Amino acid sequence: MKSLFALLNQSKIFRKLSREEFAWVLYDVGNSAYTMLSCSLIPIWFKALAVGTAPGQLSSDKATAYYSISVAVVTIIVALIGPICGAVADHRDTKKLFFSTAVFLGVGGCILNGFAVEWIAFIVICVITKICYSASLTFYDSMLNDVTTEDRMDEVSAYGFAWGYIGSCIPFLIALIAYVLGPDMAGILSGWVSKAIGFGITAFWWLIVTVPLLKSYHQKNYVEQEKHAVAKAFGKIGRTLRKIAKEDKKVLFFLIAFFLYIDGVGTIIDNCINIGTDLNLDTVGQVVFLLATQVVAFAGSLVFAKLSRKYRTVTLLLVCVVGYFAVCLYALTLHTLLDFGILAFGVGCFQGSIQSLSRSYYSKIIPAENSGEYFGIYDIFAKGASFLGSVVIAAVKLAGGTINVAVSCLAVFFVLGFFFLKIADRQQTQRK
């Protein structure tokens, strides 16, 4: 396995990446498999266990509500613990320990999910797994300062998202085949076997592709160890938040901009299937286009990675924001499956780029030695993605508006995000 990763690193595709950069990129490839599973099959498997007329089972509406509550619980917990864990992980020789713990617990939870036969056990394990998964991303994002230099952050971050999109397709296709062979469709496999294969291949992929990072990562930026680190972390975060609010306006305005435009991005992604359903489009066609979006996002991320060598990060971010603005306006014309495909293509062009560039831009404007703490704060804004946008979608729909109008209303998030990003760019960086 070691020689395989070494050969990949020496290939033409990855040759420009150092050993540490390559290992870091691979984790995006690994964890994206679980992201894909969470967005597609996990809700389906949950409903298969939860919905029914037997004692203890739920109606479809209640199952949907409970699943939404579980997502909210994950969001709240991660938002609360992220900055604390990040602040503690910033201490010397600590970040790798926190990261590996989160990964192993997440992988273990993923495997256990495949064997859960009761919906309560399934959703509890799922919540724990998602918390660990999200926590691992907080530590992982903050590692960017350690594995590369500032002038290469944009490109390396983009490579992570790009190959993550492609990498996620491999285990997902196996999981999808297992689902197709399961009781809901072909009926060749039993429900628990189908589910165990889906979760098992995802967990294996997640773990095996993480190994190079676990072996090669070395924490270069840190603060010195201190007694009562956890207790002190609370006060430290409070001071950091006050500093951002009063002094570090560049970080403050960027976080505001990021929250606005990433909320719009998250809402569009989360509601892709709802858009198609409301328009009575072919379900299989929608899934095909959404898979194709992964390929487009891969290509788009690589294009922006090359552009980052010539253009400022904030300039490219503004282009992505404008691109999403155009996608929102295009939604007004959405009626056919072809229209849906064009919308998905537009989303794919900017999806990976806006996320990777946001990550690298933020890495450049924060203190490297406190990157874990700062990325914990960053994740509060990231995990809230699609919250306000979902409220807008719901309000428009409840008022009798169409899904087309609802999605087009999201354009306001990108307009506001654009202006706050411009404001952030004019501020001085407080980083040492």
Phi, psi (5° rounding) for residue 58? Answer: -120, 165
Label residue 327 by pLDDT band (50, 70, 90): very high
Q: Note the pLDDT tens digit of each residue in 150-174.
A: 888 888 888 888 888 888 888 988 9
Average pLDDT over residues 350-377: 86
- Cβ–Cβ under 8 Å, residues 152 and 21: yes
Is 314 domain-assigned?
Answer: yes
Is 274 domain-assigned?
Answer: yes
pLDDT score of 428 more than 90: no
pLDDT score of 114 more than 80: yes
Residue with the larger pLDDT of the pair 13 and 418? 418
pLDDT at 69: 80
pLDDT at 432: 47
Is 2 domain-assigned?
Answer: no
- Kindly report the CATH number assigned to the domain that includes residue 28: 1.20.1250.20
Range of the domain at 215: 17-426
Is 358 domain-assigned?
Answer: yes
pLDDT at 319: 95
Global pTM? Answer: 0.80
Q: Note the pLDDT tens digit of each residue in 33-88.
A: 898 888 778 888 888 898 888 888 888 778 877 877 887 788 778 878 878 877 77
Label residue 185 by pLDDT band (50, 70, 90): confident
Is 8 domain-assigned?
Answer: no
Is 7 domain-assigned?
Answer: no
pLDDT score of 210 more than 90: yes
Is 135 domain-assigned?
Answer: yes
As for how many domains the chain has, the answer is 1
DSSP string of 81-138, one letter each residue: HHHHHHHHHTBTTTHHHHHHHHHHHHHHHHHHHTT--SHHHHHHHHHHHHHHHHHHHH
pLDDT at 103: 96
Look-up: residue for tokens 């993550």?
Answer: 164
Is 12 domain-assigned?
Answer: no
